[in-house]
Structure 1
Amino acid sequence: MNLSEIAGWIAPAATMIAAMMTAANLGARVTGWGFVVFTVGSVAWTIVGLSSGQTNLVLSNGFLTVVNLVGIWRWLGRQATYDRGSTAAAADSAHAPVPSLYAAGGVVGATLTGPDGERVGTIVDAMLGCGDNAIAYVVVSTGGVGGVGETLHALGPEELVFGADGVRTDLSVGAIRAEPTVRSDHWPKAL
């Protein structure tokens, strides 16, 4: 098997794996490594294009390699540094005579755990009050797979506990599902 044939197998496999990694939105680290895998794929596609005389494949994947390198810098460089900074601030605040901190960027997509430590939902987003600069409510997704069949509910900050171990609630899955539902395209102006 020659280099062109090997690249012909690596290119589509790397592209598909990288697409799944970035689409899953599993955090800066996984997204960054998705761009690394995309880079492997675009280099392999460039080899396929060079060996088969497809200039359009070479040029488009040369451009995509540059885009992927920017993605690597953004997610494994800059964003990873920000994540380390917020994690350090949260950890330091937990051991200091100041109010504990929780990274706002960690709210969206966070798993919400219930009273027994079980997963009771996923936080979709948080709405902040402009007057008091505090969380007005969070929208929690329950049920479904990949957003299909999910139900959305709004929970007030008094129903949540932010801590070093994540976001918790004293509500069970059943209690959350008993709350009024929220339409995905129109959230409440207030709770």
Structure 2
Amino acid sequence: MAPVATMIAAMMTAANLGARVTGWGFVVFTVGSIGWSLVGLGSGQTNLVATNVFLTLVNLVGVWRWLGRQRGYEDGARSASRSSRKSPGSSLFSATSLSGLPVSDMRGETVGSSVDAMIECETGRVSYVVVASGGLGGIEETLRPVPLASVDCHADGLILLEAKSQFERRPELGAGEWPAHVPGADRRKSEASRRSAVDKEDVHATV
């Protein structure tokens, strides 16, 4: 039981499939560490017992962290996302859930998944989204930046406002070398700056 529980738990936590799966992974880890403690007691291996008693405490912290606090965060974000779909305003999605969202092109063809997004401090808007395509399990994948103006955001995923072939012509990103700006994002930033300047002029005129 002990080695099987440990291996299953390791896969559950390493997969990073959300707070619930990770939390239950720590529950299984706890079962494994208790099992190893019993093995140590039965065979007189005090070091094995001491190690797994400590690991049991660590695993219980993991259960609290992922099935308690983090799950509450995810449930709150999911609730806001569901409510926004029924409201007249724009739909919402959690910033933390942006990583790993499925990405498809305008024809519905699967492109890949989102990795992260860069946010402009001045406007608070997303400048561009980094999309990973190809590879298997993150191995040999290709990263490309896509300006938000070319992305339609949905709570269940992202849709590129272009064909997959057009996306694949975008420049690839090197490891650890992401740009400050991408074509298409600069235009939005300049428009935001212009609107901000106009708003300031209106305020001065009012005063």
TM-score normalized by the length of structure 1 = 0.90
Provide, for residues 65-93 of structure 1, a one-character-per-residue CA deviation record: whole Å limited to 9, x for no partner.
11111111111111111111111111112
2:130 aligned with 1:144, yes or no?
A: no
2:172 aligned with 1:164, yes or no?
A: no
State how far apart, in whole Å, the 2-side matches of 1:172 and 1:45 are: 53
SS of equivalent residue, structure 2 residue 36: helix
Matched with 1:112 is 103
Runs of 5+ consecutive residues of structure 2 not aligned to the other structure: 183-207
Query: Cα distance, 1:15 vs. partner?
Result: 1.0
Q: Which amino acid aligns with 1:58?
A: V
2:115 aligned with 1:124, yes or no?
A: yes
Q: CA RMSD in A?
A: 1.3
Query: Cα distance, 1:175 vs. partner?
Result: 2.4
SS of equivalent residue, structure 1 residue 46: helix
Matched with 1:95 is 86
Q: Is the contact between residue 101 and residue 156 of structure 2 (CA under 8 Å) also seen in structure 1?
A: no
Query: Cα distance, 1:173 vs. partner?
Result: 3.2
Q: Percent identical across equivalent pairs? A: 51
Query: Cα distance, 1:188 vs. partner?
Result: 0.5
Runs of 5+ consecutive residues of structure 1 not aligned to the other structure: 1-9
Q: Is the contact between residue 112 and residue 133 of structure 2 (CA under 8 Å) also seen in structure 1?
A: yes
Query: Cα distance, 1:42 vs. partner?
Result: 0.5
Matched with 1:133 is 124
TM-score normalized by the length of structure 2 = 0.83
Matched with 2:40 is 49
2:57 aligned with 1:66, yes or no?
A: yes
Task: Tell me the matched-pair count.
Answer: 182
Structure 1 runs (4+) deviating above 6 angstroms are none
Provide, for residues 18-60 of structure 1, a one-character-per-residue CA deviation record: whole Å limited to 9, x for no partner.
1111111111121111111111111111111110111111111
Query: Cα distance, 1:102 vs. partner?
Result: 1.1
Provide, for residues 75-133 of structure 1, a one-character-per-residue CA deviation record: whole Å limited to 9, x for no partner.
11111111111111111122123322111111011111223434311111111111111
Q: Which amino acid aligns with 2:11?
A: M
Matched with 1:3 is none
State how far apart, in whole Å, the 2-side matches of 1:156 and 1:72 are: 38
SS of equivalent residue, structure 2 residue 75: helix
